[in-house]
Chains A and B, each alone.
Chain A
């Protein structure tokens, strides 16, 4: 006999209330703005789906979305393999383990805006350590305030510096959980290093890597502070990612309706891609 007991719902209520206040209600106000036009004084005019149409058809949005996907793609394609490679080369036991872990965790402890400011100063052509070195010692012309390519290289490098550690730590956690017997068995079976990686290490890291990829996707797709502090979206619009463009529309132009519509579209894309990633990466586990 199974007894139905609904009392557990009471335990969920506080969380529900909290989420309602910090997420659902603010989001509903965004929905509210996205379908109306306002000129202040709390006067609203019904607008329907006009703002959504306007955003979806705007070249500006397409360009920002393209840049955003480009940025996230670069981040994932660099950080995930690099993170795995670093995790693989880290020692599994002994004195150096805590040293490596702390060194790895350090960049993640720095606040986003500080990271942006650090890299800004670091790359300034005349006084920045890196900027000066590239321009005046190596003779490579590098100025991210003038050159879009330099700006892109800088924001990508900055994010790699800041967040590869997350992939490293997660992958490392997966690696250390593999019992020695697996490596010993693989040795006896005559497996090559590649086979050990492909058939033992990668499958054992899969769960944590799924989480790492999801987190890196969401964070890089929603990134705002660091590129804003570093380049402010420039030079021109070359590093204006979706979030930066959104803030420009909402707070710069004060076009609250289109900005609200854009943020909902932005949210939907993030949700959709996350769901796609998760479904694709876990589909093998179901059978």
Chain B
């Protein structure tokens, strides 16, 4: 177990990268604390798997360093980093039994059979595969195969970090949930640092204590699921997390206040910095309500998603989603939208530019 530090990490798959866009990873500085459960979340091609492979040592970064507990491991091969990785498609050794599969990493490291046996039995029990131990691994179902490849990672006592690269891709939906809670339980039992790569926000938010959101080779935000939901640091995070995503409305700034479609919108707090560039208001559909006053809008679509109703409205040439409970208006009707003020953010060039009012104490609730 170790604390993992990524320092000024950059990676390009080209031999002579010229511009910033040639980099799959653009300057990453990160600390992963010992024993944390992290998720690396981002759309396909955002560089999350590249980052994972750099940590595991399968890839050597073009620039920058990786430190395990302060020790530089950038040049070390995977087997000397003492890490474990679970891949998208379950990797098992077909010709071996489940027991031999689990024992493989230990035997390769020359552990004596007594230790091997004790560890394999412990891990098998943890993964609930004890009754399959004598079976040939080739005949297992995909979810059990994935369990075995997880087990091969966990069987070593001293793994620094266990990494999961979209491990539930090939698992049936009804088993995904089971395996995910198994993972969470394993994390609590073995207390190893775990990094979970996924493009599925549900997987990321349920597994991780801290979610690292990536886009185009950059880390846009690191935070708890609640932080990501409530205060997205970037419009991308607001958009990517949540269903439906955050409403992003282009606005103008007049005397320090945001104006959208001729209406002044009250922000959560004062604007930080110069606020030059493209300005946008960000508000989650959950905090938009249909009211007797506020922004006039027309309902364009109403979808019932079970517990809530998503009301899609149009105002000032923009689409605004509102999540409501209870009676929803008819399609085509005119409504007024009210934004919850402490949840209304301003973004400048995509980045969060407002601070909460109570943090600065300048503005009370209006």
Contact = CB atoms under 8 A, between A and B. Distances in A.
Is chain B found bound to chain A in the same assembly?
Answer: yes
B87 A192 contact: no
Nearest to A284: B95
B108 interface: yes
Interface of B: 53, 56, 58, 77-79, 83-85, 87-89, 91, 93-96, 104-105, 108-109, 136, 149, 152-153
Contacts of A181: 87-89, 91
10 shortest interchain CB distances as A-B pairs: A190-B108, A185-B91, A181-B87, A190-B79, A189-B105, A199-B93, A187-B78, A188-B78, A203-B95, A203-B94
Nearest to B95: A203
B58 A187 contact: yes
A188 B93 contact: no
Contacts of A203: 93-95
A189 B89 CA distance: 16
A139 interface: no
B147 to A, nearest CB: 14
Residue from A181, A185, A187, A200 having most chain B Cβ neighbours under 10 A: A185
Nearest to A198: B95
A287 interface: yes
A100 interface: no
B82 to A, nearest CB: 9
A199 B95 contact: yes
Interface in A175-206: 179, 181-182, 184-185, 187-192, 195, 199-200, 203-204
Contacts of A189: 79, 104-105, 108, 152
15 contacts: A179-B89, A181-B91, A182-B91, A184-B56, A187-B78, A188-B56, A188-B78, A188-B79, A188-B85, A188-B153, A189-B104, A189-B152, A190-B105, A190-B109, A199-B95
B149 to A, nearest CB: 7
A181 B90 CA distance: 9
Contacts of A195: 108
A203 B137 CA distance: 13
Given A179-B89, A200-B93, A188 B104 contact: no
B108 A184 contact: no
A190 B153 CA distance: 11
Interface of A: 179, 181-182, 184-185, 187-192, 195, 199-200, 203-204, 284, 287
B160 to A, nearest CB: 12
Contact of A188 (B84, B89, B96): B84
Nearest to B93: A199
B108 A185 contact: no
A287 B136 contact: yes
Contacts of A199: 93, 95-96, 104
B211 to A, nearest CB: 24
Contacts of B77: 187
Is the contact region of chain A dominated by helix, strand, or loop, or is it mixed? helix
A191 B108 contact: yes
A186 to B, nearest CB: 8
A218 B143 CA distance: 42
A184 B78 contact: yes
Given A199-B95, A284-B95, 15 more contacts: A181-B87, A185-B91, A187-B58, A187-B79, A188-B56, A188-B78, A188-B79, A188-B83, A188-B105, A189-B79, A189-B104, A190-B105, A195-B108, A200-B93, A287-B136
A94 B83 CA distance: 30
A192 B77 CA distance: 13
A184 B85 contact: yes
Residue from B88, B95, B109, B153 having most chain A Cβ neighbours under 10 A: B95
B356 to A, nearest CB: 44
Nearest to A202: B95
Contacts of A179: 89
A204 B93 CA distance: 10
Contact of A184 (B87, B93, B109): B87
Nearest to B85: A188
A47 to B, nearest CB: 52
Contact of A192 (B58, B105, B108): B108
A239 B53 CA distance: 57
A185 B149 CA distance: 9
B61 to A, nearest CB: 16
A204 B95 CA distance: 10
A203 B93 CA distance: 9
A185 B165 CA distance: 12
A204 B56 CA distance: 25
A249 B136 CA distance: 52
Contacts of A188: 56, 78-79, 83-85, 105, 153
Nearest to A185: B91
Nearest to B77: A187
A63 B89 CA distance: 54
A182 B94 CA distance: 11
B85 A185 contact: yes
Contacts of B78: 184, 187-188
Contacts of B94: 203-204
B151 to A, nearest CB: 11
Nearest to B58: A184
Contacts of B56: 184, 188
A199 B105 CA distance: 13
Nearest to B100: A199
A192 B93 CA distance: 14
A55 to B, nearest CB: 43
Contacts of B87: 181, 184-185
Contacts of B79: 187-190
A191 B96 CA distance: 14
Nearest to B152: A189
Contacts of B88: 181
Nearest to B86: A185
Nearest to B108: A190
A165 to B, nearest CB: 27
